[in-house]
């Protein structure tokens, strides 16, 4: 019977999608946008016509702002990663919705696989994760979904150093989920 189980493929874990709210995201990071609850302040210029909401972003070194264009892909997690030196942020452009999966920071080498959560963003608000928050790159719900990504350049270099489908460096642990767990994690959209 064990041989039959292997032929059927990996076990499947399903992660339900919840609405993204400031309270729901608090264990993972900060909500960015009008729905964040951060009170904007006057910029001091332009006669009060420019208000600024300051969101804390932490990085101890060379930081990069880029735009990622995401296409819809199967709602199955391939990798999960975390960063040790910065609070990575994703900010939508164009108002297209997306789904993000998070795991709370852990002291071990892997996330708590049983507590991963998925959140649907409406395309108006983004997020800035706490240092060490486990996450998968967001899933687009519509073609050509653009998001601003803010991260350290060291992370980009760490991502290039693939080893057996994973990448590791001083600022990154990117794990291959199938290899680590033997399970397929699917997001129930």
**pLDDT tens-place string over residues 22-47:** 899 889 888 777 666 767 777 666 66
Alpha helices in the chain (DSSP H): 2-8, 22-25, 153-160, 177-181
Sign of CA pseudo-dihedral 106, 108, 113, 114: negative
CATH entry 2.60.120.480 includes domain 11-44+52-188? yes
Beta carbons of 11 and 183 less than 8 angstroms apart: yes
The string over 38-60, giving b where at least 16 C-beta atoms fall within 10 Å of a residue's C-beta and e elsewhere, is: beeeeeeeeeeeeeeeebeeebe
pLDDT of 133 strictly over 60: yes
What tens digit of pLDDT does each residue of 138-177 get?
A: 999 999 998 888 888 888 888 887 777 898 999 999 999 9
């Amino acid at each position: 019977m064990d041989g039959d189980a292997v032929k059927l493929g990996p076990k499947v874990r399903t992660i339900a999608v919840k609405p993204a709210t400031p309270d729901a995201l608090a264990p993972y990071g900060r909500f960015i946008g009008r729905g964040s609850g951060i009170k904007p302040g006057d910029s001091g210029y332009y006669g009060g016509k420019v208000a600024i909401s300051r969101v804390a972003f932490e990085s101890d070194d060379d930081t990069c702002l880029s735009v990622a264009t995401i296409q819809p892909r199967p709602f199955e997690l391939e990798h999960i990663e975390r960063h040790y030196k910065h609070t990575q942020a994703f900010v939508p452009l164009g108002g297209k919705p997306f789904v993000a999966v998070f795991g709370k920071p852990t002291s071990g080498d892997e996330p708590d696989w049983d507590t991963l959560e998925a959140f649907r963003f409406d395309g108006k608000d983004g997020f800035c994760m706490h240092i060490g928050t486990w996450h998968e790159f967001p899933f687009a719900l519509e073609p050509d979904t653009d998001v601003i990504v803010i991260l350290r350049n060291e992370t980009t270099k760490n991502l290039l150093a693939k080893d057996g489908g994973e990448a590791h460096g001083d600022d990154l642990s990117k794990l291959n989920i199938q290899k680590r767990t033997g399970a397929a994690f699917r997001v129930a959209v």
